[in-house]
Amino acid sequence: MAERVHPSTNPKAVVAPIAKPPSARPRLPNPTLHPYRPYPTSRSRRKVHCFSCRRCSCLTCFWSFILLFIICLLAAAAAAAFYMLYQPKYSLVSINSLKISYFNLNTTTSDDTTLLTTKLNLTLSVKNPNKKITFHYGPNSISVLSDSLKLANGSFEEFTNLPEKISTLRTTMGPYSQVMDTDSVNSLNSNLKTKNGLPLIIVMDTSVDARIEKLKMKGIAIGVNCDGIHAALPKAKTAIPTTANSSKAKCKIHLRIKILKWTFKL
């Protein structure tokens, strides 16, 4: 038989009430406490450091460029003012006379060598066209060439070229002897057969000091090139020198700026 369940007959039995969970109250922030802020990691610190370095580099480059631009602007303004005030000009170089006193081209049959011996006399004029600038030329070297063949070399003593004055220079170059190769001999013989005579070029290298009132500029390297000169050779049996034709000669002065192993002409 199945068992029966009988209800409790105890009148004092009380059913326990079910407890309700406490209501969740929102937490209000405490104004006295500081909010939590995590410390930056090493990667974030590196990013901040790189950003600051880039910013400093950019600012340094910017202000350096501005400073360089201002210096260049002031230098240009000073150069323009100097030019307008003094109007500097190069000295004017002209050839008064070039005489070939001796010219001998001798070939030895025993060893088949060719020896060239020359002697030249040169007179130059240097005019200073400036009114307030004085030039002082230091020791210099001068050479006479025909194409790339050097015929003679010499030098001038140092001299002072006063404003609006002309200085006359004289020098004797040689006797100068040199052994020539076959190509140089052929080139020289070809130039000797030309109608106008042997073409000559005069090259001079020197340094100049410029004085403008109380201002002095020292050691300015310059070069002088004179071309358009033709000369006939003296006869072997006479000792009379021949005078070169320099009526169409043109002389140009240029600055020589040397940087390391390179020389620039201006």
pLDDT one-digit tens code per residue, 40-57: 555 555 555 555 667 777
Same domain, 162 and 247: yes
Same domain, 193 and 212: yes
Is residue 48 assigned to a domain? yes
Same domain, 55 and 183: no
Is residue 12 assigned to a domain? no
Same domain, 158 and 81: no
- Domain range holding 111? 92-265
Q: Is the pTM of this model over 0.85?
A: no
pLDDT in tens, the chain (266 residues): 445 555 555 555 555 555 555 555 555 555 565 565 555 555 555 555 555 667 777 888 888 889 999 999 998 898 888 788 888 898 999 999 999 999 988 888 777 889 999 999 999 999 999 999 999 999 889 999 998 899 999 998 899 999 999 999 999 998 999 998 888 888 888 888 888 889 999 999 999 999 988 888 888 899 999 999 999 888 766 678 899 999 999 999 988 887 777 776 77
Q: Which helix (H) or strand (E) holds 52?
A: helix 42-86
Is residue 20 assigned to a domain? no
Is residue 77 assigned to a domain? yes
Same domain, 112 and 242: yes
DSSP classification of residue 131: S
What does the buried/exposed string (b/e) look like for 102-118 if buried means 16 or more CB atoms within 10 Å of the residue's CB? bbeeeeeeeeeebebeb
* Structure tokens that stand for 236 in this block: 């072997």
What is the model's pLDDT at position 120? Answer: 95
Give the end of a domain, one of 56, 86, 116. 86
pLDDT one-digit tens code per residue, 54-76: 777 788 888 888 999 999 999 88
Give the end of a domain, one of 25, 54, 86. 86
Same domain, 243 and 170: yes
Same domain, 82 and 98: no
Give the end of a domain, one of 86, 117, 144. 86
Say if residues 210 and 134 touch (Cβ distance below 8 Å).
yes
- Classified as helix, coil or strand, 45 is helix
Closest CA to 240 of 136, 103, 130, 96: 103
Same domain, 129 and 249: yes
What is the model's pLDDT at position 10? Answer: 53
Same domain, 98 and 229: yes
Same domain, 101 and 61: no
Domain count, the chain: 2
Say if residues 234 and 100 touch (Cβ distance below 8 Å).
yes
Same domain, 114 and 165: yes
What is the model's pLDDT at position 1? Answer: 45
Neighbours of 220 (CB within 10 A): 15
* Structure tokens that stand for 251 in this block: 């002389």
Same domain, 168 and 199: yes
Give the Cα separation of 100 and 174 in Å (integer). Answer: 10
Within 138-214, strands assigned E span 140-146, 149-156, 159-161, 166-180, 198-212
Compute and round to an integer the Cα radius of gyration of the chain.
48
- What does 54-122 look like in DSSP terms, one character per residue? HHHHHHHHHHHHHHHHHHHHHHHHHHHHHHHHH---PPEEEEEEEEEEEEEEEEETTTTEEEEEEEEEE
